[in-house]
Chain A
Amino acid sequence: MIPGRFEYHRPKSLPEAVALLAKLGEDARPLAGGHSLIPMMKLRMATPEHLVDLAGIADLKGIRHEGGRIVIGAMTTQAELIASADLSAALPILKETALLIADPQVRYVGTLGGNVANGDPGNDMPAVMMALDATYQLAGEKGAREVAAREFYQGAYFTALEPGEMLAAISIPVPPAGHGAAYEKLKRKIGDYATAAAAVVLTKADGRIATCAIALTNVGDTPLLAEEAAHILTGTSADAASLARAIAAAEAITEPATDGRGTAAYRTKMAGIMLERALARALARAAG
C-alpha cells in the first residue's frame, strides 16, 4: 500500500497546469481530491511519474451563473456543492447526490471534477450530469473545447479526454422551475459505491411527463443514459403500465459485473428498483 516514486507539481494557474500536462505527456496525471487516484497509486495499479496538483488554482473553484446555465469549477468540493444555497435552489439534485457520496471527510476533499472526469463507473455524479445534459469544459494545449457529458464516457476509466487535456468546469443548463429530479442509490454501507443507482430529471405539463432524462450508475462500464426508458415515459401520465415498461427498458441496457455487491442479476434488478423510486420522487416533486 505504498505508491511508487513520482514528482509532485503544484501549478498556480490553468495555463500553467495545461502547459505542464502537455510537457509531461502520458506520464502525468492531474490530481484533484485524490480519493480515486491515490488509492490506485497505493495499490500500484496507477503509476504516474508526475502528479499535477490542481488545488492551487483559484480559477478552478466556484459556482456561477452564466445565462441560463450554472457553471461549476472542476475543483469545487462536494462539501461546497452541499453548502451552496444557490445550487440547492436551482439544482437540488446535486446536493441530494453529493450527500450520498462517501462520508463528510471525503466530501470535504473530493471534487465534482474528479468525480466526473475519472471515468470510474462507480462514481455518482456522471449519471446525474448525463441526466441534466451537462457539458464539460476541457482545457488543453490545443485550446479549450466542450464535450457533452452524454458523449464523454467511453469505457471504464476511458473518457473523451485527450492526453494532456483536463477538465476545467462543468456547465449545466438550469432546468425550468417546477422540474422534478431525484437520485436514488443503493449501497451496502456509508462510503460504498452504488450497488445500483438511478438519476431522473423530468418536467410535467397537464399531468403528463413533458420531458424526461434517466441515467444509471455502476451497472455497466460507463454511466448509462436510459434513452429508451425516458422515451417510453415521455407524454404518458406515468401510469403503472408505462412505468413498468420504462423500468424494463432501463434494466435491459444494464451490464453489471458480479462482485461483492451482488450478482449481475441482482444489480440489474436493483437498477430497476432505484429507477422506480427515483421516478416516484421526481414525479412528486414536479409541478404541473
Chain B
Amino acid sequence: MNDQTPTKAEREARLQGMGCKRKRVEDIRFTQGRGNYVDDIKLPGMLFGDFYRSPYPHARIKKLDTSRAKALPGVRAVLTAADLKPLNLHYMPTLAGDVQAVLADEKVLFQNQEVAFVIADDRYIAADAIELIDCEYEELPVLVDPSKALLPDAPILREDIVDKMVGAHGPRRHANHIFNWQVGEKDGTDEAFASAPVTVKETFYYHRTHPSPLETCQALASMDKIKGELTLYGTFQAPHVIRTVVSLISGLPEHKIHVIAPDIGGGFGNKVGAYAGYVCAVVGSIVLGKPVKWVEDRMENLSTTSFARDYHMTTELAATQDGKILAMRCYVLADHGAFDACADPSKWPAGFMNICTGSYDIPVAHLEVDGVYTNKASGGVAYRCSFRVTEAVYAIERAVEVLAQKLGMDSADLRVKNFIRRDQFPYHAALGWEYDSGDYHFAMEKAMTAVDYRGLRTEQAAKREAFKRGETREIMGIGVSFFTEIVGAGPSKNCDILGIGMFDSCEIRIHPTGSVIARMGTKSQGQGHETTYAQILATELGIPADDIMIEEGNTDTAPYGLGTYGSRSTPTAGAATAMAARKIRAKAQMIAAHLLEVHHNDLEWDVDGFQVKGLPEKRKSMKEIAWASYNQPIPNLEPGLEAVNYYDPPNMTYPFGAYFCVMDIDVDTGVFKVRRFYALDDCGTRINPMIIEGQVHGGLTEAFAVSMGQEIRYDAMGNVMGASFMDFFLPTAVETPHWETDFTETPSPHHPIGAKGVGESPHVGGVPCFSNAVNDAFSFLGTTHINMPHDAWRMWEMAEKLGLHAQANAAA
C-alpha cells in the first residue's frame, strides 16, 4: 500500500456510520424554512374546511340549520351527520375498537365536539360561515368526574352503544363502562399483602395533558373522479395504517388511495389516530371533486384531538421491614373521555400499563384497569412514551418513594435493594413481560456517583434543620427515578393495529454508481430518521451515509409499515434496515467473488468492501460491486442490487435509565428552581450520540412541562380550561433547566444491531423524577404524596395547608 491509501480508520470515518455524531441532514432544510409541511402544499382549486363545534359538553341537538351558512358567497358545502349517515360515515372506527362520531349525531358529548364541517373558497369565508350556523341544544347533565361514571344514576353518555354490553375488550358493567382489564395473579397478590410486614397504599392522579406538537393536525384530500383515485396528504405518524383505514371506511380500493405524509412538525402521539378532520376533508373532496384542506388551530388541537394520561392510579406495595418488595397491586380508573380513541395496539386496552412493576424484582403483582366514558375529548395517546408507560413508571416510581418514607429508608438504597440483577436477564416479570437486557446496578451506581448523591442528602439534612430554625424559606428536594421502558411494539404475536401485525420494513436500492435510496414504513416527525437510518446502512453496507437517501411517508413507494410512535422506529424499522442491508451484502459477496475469481468463502468484509482473506490488496469496494451488478452478467445472480425486509421483532426492547433532580422551592411563593438535572440513559447500541442527546433534551423538557404545570383541565360544568398557550405550559428556553446527560450501553440481545430506542425514555423517566423532587422536598413535613402538576400556586397551597405561612408570620 502506498501513502495515498486511506487507512482502515479513515475509511470508517468517511462512512459516518453507527456511533458517529453526524449532523442531522434534514436540518439543512428545516433551519432555512424550506421544509414541506401539509399547509405548504397548495393544489389548484383547493378549498378549505373548518368545523362548527359544540359549545356544550353534553347536550341534545334539537335543531341544526345550516342554510344561512350555505347562502354565504364562497361556501361550497356544509356537512352534518345527516349528510354522512347515508354513507355510513357519521361514525368512524377507533384504534381501540370503539366508534367515534365524525360529526355529532343527535347529541354532543364534549365541549368543542365537531358538529358541522363548512367547506369554502378560503379560510376566512369558512370562519365567517361557522358564525352563521344555527344550532339549538337541550343541555343534559354533565359527567366530569370519572369516579361517578359507574354510579347507577350517572347520566348515560353513549346512547349509540347503550345496548352493547360487550365491548372490544370484554363485558361492560355500565353504559359508561368501556372495559375492565386485569393482569397478574390476584389471589397470590392478595395473599402476599395479607401476610406482609409492611404495606403502603397511595392514589396518584396523573393529570390530563396534551402532546401539543408545534404543527397541529392537518390534512389535504384530493379526489380525482376520472381516475377514481384519492390522494391524501396529512400529518400522519402512521401513513400506511391511515391508507388502510381510509380504504376500509370509504370503500375505495386501497391501491387507488395515495397517502402522503410530508414533513411533520412534531407528533408525540398526537398524530397516530384518525380524526374527524381527515374524514371530512376526504368526504368533502369526494363530494365536490376538488381538493379540500383542513388545518386545526391551536385551541382545537389542545381541546379536541388526543389528550394524554388522565389515570387515577391506586398503587400498593408490600415489603419486608428491611425493604425487600414482596408484591405490588395497582388499580387504575382511566378517564377516556367521550369515545375510546386510545391509540394502543388492539389487544392492549390500557397499553403496556403492566410494565408497572418497573425495574424491580417483584415476585407477584396484580393490575386492574377500568376504562370509563366522561364528557371530555377522547384520546389517551402515548405522549412521548410507549403506550401508557409514562403512567406505569410514574406509579411505581412514586410508590417506591412512599414505601421508602414509611420504612425510613433512603429511596435510592431501596431501589438498589430491589433491582432486577444483571444475571436475571432475560427477566420474566410478574405481569408478563420478558425484559431483554439491563445492568441496573451499574447504571445507578454511576449516576449516584456523578451527582454525589450522599453529599446531596447531607446538604438537604442541613437545609431542613435551617428551615426548621427559620433561617431559610426554601426547601430542597432530591428527585430520584429509575425507569425501565418497554418500546418497539411489537411482535405480531401480541401486537396489532386493526389486525395488522406491528412489524416494520425497509427497502433498499443501490444505484449503479454506488449511491443508495432506502425507504421505510416508519415516519419521522423530527426524530432525524434521514440521518440515523443512513448511518445504520453506512456501517452495514460500507457506503458513506452522505450517499444514502432515506425516504418515508409516501405509501406508494415505501414498503408497508406501522409508523413511528412508542419509540418503535429503531427497534423495528432500524432492525429491518440492518437485515435488508445484510441481504445486499450477501449478494455483494457473491459478486465480489466472481470479480476476484475466488470462492465467496475466501472473502472477508472490510469496512467498505470485500477482500480476499490474507490478501488485503485484492479487494472490491461496494462502489465497484454496485457498478458490476448492473454492468455485467454475474452467473447465477439476477442483475441489480436491492433488497427488502419486513421485520417482525421477537420481543420488545427495554431501555432504562437513572435520573436525579435537585430542586429548591420557595414556600412563600411556591416558585421553584431546578438546580440540577442529571439523566443517565441506556438505550443499547448508540447510533448517533448527538441525536440521542437532542432526544434526551427534548424529552426532559416535555417531562419538565408536564410535571411542573402543563394540564388540560375541565371545570365542574365540563368546560375545557386552559386550551391555549396562554395557560397551557410550554416552557421557553428561560424556564427550561440545564440538562446533564450521561449513558451506559447495554445492547439488546435480540436486535440485529443491539439498539433499543431512546426518544421517549427521558419523558418517561423525567416526569417521576421532577414529581419525586417536589414530593421529597415536602416529605419531612409529613406529606406522602402531592399530585402533579406542581405549579407554583399548588405548591404554595400545600405549604399553606402545612401551616408554613402561619408559622412564619408568628415568628415575624
Q: Is the interface of B mostly helix, strand, loop or mixed?
A: loop
Contact assessment for B297 and A262 in the assembled complex, using a CB-CB cutoff below 8 Å: no
- State in angstroms the CA–CA spacing of A19 and B298 once bound together: 38
Given A4-B128, A260-B727, are A188 and B732 also a contact pair (CB < 8 Å)? no
Is the CB of B557 closer than 8 A to any CB of chain A? no
Q: Which listed segment binds B: A82-90, A219-227, A266-274?
A: A266-274
Residue of B297, B731, B791, B792 with most chain A CB atoms under a 10 A cut-off: B792
Chain B residue numbers with a CB within 8 Å of A44 are 131
Contact assessment for A270 and B722 in the assembled complex, using a CB-CB cutoff below 8 Å: no
* B417 to A: closest C-beta gap in Å: 39
Contact assessment for A266 and B128 in the assembled complex, using a CB-CB cutoff below 8 Å: no
Q: Chain A, 186-206, contact with B by CB distance < 8 Å: what is the 0/1 string? A: 101111100100000000000
Chain B residue numbers with a CB within 8 Å of A273 are 668-669
Is the CB of B729 closer than 8 A to any CB of chain A? yes
Contact assessment for A195 and B812 in the assembled complex, using a CB-CB cutoff below 8 Å: no
Contact assessment for B792 and A2 in the assembled complex, using a CB-CB cutoff below 8 Å: no
Residue A2 contacts which of B124, B729, B732 (CB distance < 8 angstroms)? B124
- State in angstroms the CA–CA spacing of A120 and B732 once bound together: 24
Contact assessment for A261 and B671 in the assembled complex, using a CB-CB cutoff below 8 Å: no
* B727 to A: closest C-beta gap in Å: 4
Q: Chain A, 255-268, contact with B by CB distance < 8 Å: what is the 0/1 string? A: 00001111101110
Q: Which residue of A lies closest to B809 (CB)?
A: A244
Is the CB of A142 closer than 8 A to any CB of chain B? no
Considering only CB atoms and an 8 Å cut-off, how many residues of chain A contact the other chain? 26
Is the CB of B721 closer than 8 A to any CB of chain A? yes
Chain B residue numbers with a CB within 8 Å of A103 are 732
Chain B residue numbers with a CB within 8 Å of A267 are 793
Q: Chain B, 772-812, contact with A by CB distance < 8 Å: what is the 0/1 string? A: 00000000000000000001110011001000010000001
Chain A residue numbers with a CB within 8 Å of B438 are none
* B176 to A: closest C-beta gap in Å: 29
Chain A residue numbers with a CB within 8 Å of B709 are 188
Residue B792 contacts which of A1, A4, A5, A262 (CB distance < 8 angstroms)? A262
Chain A residue numbers with a CB within 8 Å of B791 are 188, 262
Q: Which residue of B lies closest to A258 (CB)?
A: B793
Q: Chain B, 692-722, contact with A by CB distance < 8 Å: what is the 0/1 string? A: 0000000000000000010001000000011
Given A195-B792, A269-B796, are A189 and B735 also a contact pair (CB < 8 Å)? yes
- State in angstroms the CA–CA spacing of A260 and B124 once bound together: 31
Residue A260 contacts which of B123, B721, B735 (CB distance < 8 angstroms)? B721
Q: Which residue of A lies closest to B732 (CB)?
A: A190
- State in angstroms the CA–CA spacing of A260 and B796 once bound together: 14
Chain A residue numbers with a CB within 8 Å of B726 are 192, 260
Interfacial residues of chain A within 83-140, with CB under 8 A of chain B in the complex: 103
Contact assessment for B722 and A186 in the assembled complex, using a CB-CB cutoff below 8 Å: no
Q: Which residue of A lies closest to B711 (CB)?
A: A260
Contact assessment for B793 and A191 in the assembled complex, using a CB-CB cutoff below 8 Å: no
Is the CB of B450 closer than 8 A to any CB of chain A? no
Is the CB of B299 closer than 8 A to any CB of chain A? yes
Contact assessment for A188 and B729 in the assembled complex, using a CB-CB cutoff below 8 Å: yes
Is the CB of B637 closer than 8 A to any CB of chain A? no
Q: Chain A, 39-50, contact with B by CB distance < 8 Å: what is the 0/1 string? A: 000001000000
* A3 to B: closest C-beta gap in Å: 8
Contact assessment for B732 and A186 in the assembled complex, using a CB-CB cutoff below 8 Å: no
Is the CB of B734 closer than 8 A to any CB of chain A? yes
Q: Chain B, 170-190, contact with A by CB distance < 8 Å: what is the 0/1 string? A: 000000000000000000000
Is the CB of B127 closer than 8 A to any CB of chain A? yes
Contact assessment for B669 and A190 in the assembled complex, using a CB-CB cutoff below 8 Å: no
- Given A5-B128, A44-B131, A260-B722, 6 new contacts (CB under 8 A): A188-B791, A188-B792, A190-B734, A260-B721, A262-B792, A273-B668
What 7 A-B pairs come out closest when comparing CB atoms? Answer: A262-B793, A2-B127, A260-B727, A1-B297, A266-B793, A190-B734, A190-B732
25 contacts between A and B (CB under 8 A): A1-B298, A2-B127, A4-B131, A188-B729, A188-B791, A189-B729, A189-B731, A190-B735, A191-B732, A195-B793, A240-B812, A244-B812, A259-B727, A260-B721, A260-B726, A260-B727, A262-B792, A262-B796, A263-B793, A263-B797, A265-B800, A266-B670, A269-B796, A269-B805, A273-B669
